[in-house]
Each structure stands twice: as structure tokens, then as C-alpha cells.
Structure 1
């Protein structure tokens, strides 16, 4: 679990598929003065080769996070050539313009709830990244201060995510609830929840 407390408050939870020693999911996030960027990668299958694929994605984002989301999706696809492949979701929050940019290929879910209860649920492109030519759908949204977000791989199953993100619940409370239900799974699982403070 990780927490930042400047322009954003964020918590991450991850578990490995029962019987495996390496998690096939990967994630990375970082906050700078100007933006916050987060990536979740779900390597196909599980174990060593899924881990190798998701790690390639998170490493390229860590090295190049200043680039645009569009460019980063292309870089992720490039580094997955001749690897297992991965579902990849990237979003980047620009604090000064109060805008976030989102792109996803594969079965990773993202939700953003505004303080007045409005839900933004951008749909991903089906498939996965593997180095082959790929279509990217990059979306831009404005956000209000204190909006909450949740992003998760398909290994995280939770009934009633909308209720979980109710405006009166703090992000820490939500994170604690996720942790309480975050047991061993038949799949690798990653979930990141946060609040855009400004």
C-alpha cells in the first residue's frame, strides 16, 4: 500500500494468484508538481511470463512518464513485442488544468466519481498489447477537486463499486474496505483507489 498526500491521495493493493510466486499484474504511479500518472498492466495468464510482460510496461512508464498518454501507449506496445502480451491502462491527471487523459487496451476497469455523484466510466478498447499494430482510444475529461477514482485489473471482483465510492466515505475508509475483502484469489489482482485533492 502506498500513500501520497500533496495533490492526490492514493492507495494500492495487489495480490498474486494462489500457487504462483510472481504476480502477473504490475502498476506504477508518480506525482510531480504538474501531474500524476498511473499505469496498471495485466500480463496475459499468470506466473513468470505474465510478470515479465507487466514489468516491461511499468518500467517503460517509469522511465518516460513525462511523455503524453498517446506516446506511452505506443511505447508499451513496442516493449511487449515477442513477450506474452498485456492489458494496459494509463491515466494522467494534469493538476493546473484539472483534466485527466485516459487510454486502455484490455480488461482493466476505471471509475471516476465527482463529489456530486456523477460517474465517469470510460470504455476500454478490447484486446491486449503485444507489439502488433493496435488502435488506441485516448479520452480527455475534466474533473472537480475531491473526485475519487478506482482502477482495477480483472482479478479484483467487488459487487457494488458505485456504493463503495460514495462521496461521504474517505479514500482511507474505502482502501480499508478493499483490504478487508482482498484475500487470496484465483487470479492476480490489483486495485488502486485515490482522491484528486485539488
Structure 2
């Protein structure tokens, strides 16, 4: 089960609101009072810094429960002045009127995970998480996704899914036609069908999805199969889901067909691409601009950050704000980058 809360931060009134949302989600996950206290401190500090140093920004909180494992994801990002020296800003007690520095060193030690990316003039993105219970098995693919509703809607017409085993991983992004509950229904059915057929290749899964979605609005869908031994990625896409493989020397746009899964589709071709160990996979719905083509020179050190931070940066910089929006980032666990 996944619950996502998004808070646009404009002034100090957001500090209390962010803390209340975080506490409610932490309660729902069954975190003890000690962990809830740490979460309140972290969220208060992050929101304060968004206001004081970032000129406002976004706080995203996502609670996740999988069997006996619970996790709270916390994202905070802005398009403010950024930091000249992240390591300096992480020192205890350091603060600067031009950079986000206050309390970062202290709060970085409270969560189970913490990651940050900042560039002068480009803003700052921070991700951290708290978890409890028995973690799921270590995955071959490190991945993260963010999914936001169409403005004013209570549910998203987009969704995503993931499957991982020793030999291969599968990831999917789906965009139900339109927005609101009916689009959400289509994407939910697509996710359920995906999980029922993770033994198949992308084009075969697309055929199953087409049959499952025939009585819904239909959806745009992209599915990637990454084989960890042959180092190949097989992709099948239909509609306005975009996908790219990013390597040091190029950005490879993955082929997708026109049509609607569950609608006017007739066939589901797939294409095989090389998957180097240092590649990034980015998939996104049309809630992000189709002009998204990552210029790595503008994001130095980008690939070294966690998939969660990468997803939040792409959402921050490329979201159109006029539709449901989903971005998924995946890379090989333990990969060494450029």
C-alpha cells in the first residue's frame, strides 16, 4: 500500500502542516514514538530551509507498506540559489544566507538513509527515509518513482510497477487516458495485470494488458525488461510514455508505438538495447515535458546520487503541472559511474 502527500511550501505556516502530515503517515506505519520524534525534527528542518533559503519549494511524503516492512520516504526540493559547497553546508552549525545549510549535518544522521544534490543557481534536492520491520530482499536494480495527481484530483491516472529477481528486472509506467477516477481504474488494472505476468517479456505483457483494459478507458504503457547477465534491455511502449537510456556519451530515446492499450492497439513491437552497467533508465508520462533530454553537463555528479534524488530533480525541473505526472529512474545496484 502506498500513500503520497504533496505539500507546496511557500511560508513558515507550512512547517506545522508538513510535520502534521508526516506524523499522521508515521502513525499509520506503526512507527514508535522515538522514530516519530525524529521524523518531526527532520521534516520541520527541511521545510524551514525550503522557506528560509530556497524561496519555497515542495515537500513530498510517501508511506509504503510491503508485507512486514514499512517505509516513509521524504523528499524536499527547491529551485533556489543552491549550494556552492555541499560538504561545508553539512557541517554541524554551519549556515549561510545564500545557501541551505542550517541543521543539515544534524538531520542527516537521524534518518536511515539521506542523500542530497545541489548546484549553485539550480536549487537543492534532498531525500531521506525511515523504515521498520524486515526489509525486502536486496534488489539487482536500484529504482525510484514519483507519481503526482492532476491538480485538484484526489487520485492519479498514472501508476508504476516493478519486479525484481536474480536474472532480470521489470519496470512499468502507465498513464490511464484522461485523469481522475476512471483513469486511475485503468492504471490500477494495468498494475495488477503486470504483477500477474512478470514471467513474460514486455510485448507479451502488453498483450495481456490490452485484454485486461479492453473495458476501461485504456492507457499509455511503457515496459522495460532488464536482463542482468546478458546486459540487454528490452522495451515495449505504446502511447505517450517516454523512456531513455542515459550513458556517458549519449541519451538513447526508446522506441514507442502510437495507440492505446485496451483501445485501438493491434500489435506490440519491442526493441532490444544494450544495457551497460553504468546506464540510467528514465521513464516518464506526459505530465513531464516531452522535451526532457538530460544535459549531463548541466547536472554534474547527477548520476552518483540515489535514484530517489534523481527522480525528484527530474520532477522538479520538467513537470508541466497540467496533468498527472510520473517519473521513474532505475540503475544497476552498486554500479560505478563516470
Q: TM-score, normalised by structure 1?
A: 0.88
The yes-or-no answer on 1:190 pairing with 2:323 is no
> Structure 1: 5+ residue runs without aligned partners?
none
The yes-or-no answer on 1:35 pairing with 2:168 is yes
Q: TM-score, normalised by structure 2?
A: 0.53
Which deviates the most, 153-162 or 99-108? 153-162
CA 1:159–1:142: 2 relative to 1, 3 Å: closer
Give per-residue Cα distances to partners, 1:149-175, cap 9 Å, x unaligned. 100000112755321596742242423
Greater Rg over alpha carbons, structure: 2
Structure 2 counterpart of 1:93 = 226
- Aligned residue among 307, 310, 314 for 1:174: 310
Asked whether the 8 Å contact 2:177–2:218 carries over to 1, the reply is: yes
Shift of 1:119: 2.3
Structure 1 counterpart of 2:282 = 150
Shift of 1:128: 1.0
Which deviates the most, 93-102 or 184-193? 184-193
Structure 1 counterpart of 2:81 = none
Paired positions, count: 197
1:28-177 correspondence to structure 2 within 5 Å: 28-114=161-247, 116-132=248-264, 134-157=266-289, 161-163=293-295, 168-169=301-302, 170-172=304-306, 173-177=309-313
Asked whether the 8 Å contact 1:15–1:184 carries over to 2, the reply is: no
CA 1:58–1:164: 2 relative to 1, 3 Å: farther
Distance 2:275 2:161 in 1: 22
Asked whether the 8 Å contact 2:237–2:256 carries over to 1, the reply is: yes
Asked whether the 8 Å contact 1:18–1:187 carries over to 2, the reply is: yes
Write 1 or 2 for the structure with the bigger share of helix.
2
Distance 1:175 1:196 in 2: 15
Distance 2:250 2:138 in 1: 24
The yes-or-no answer on 1:26 pairing with 2:163 is no
CA 1:171–1:58: 2 relative to 1, 3 Å: farther
Shift of 1:55: 0.8
Distance 1:195 1:167 in 2: 17
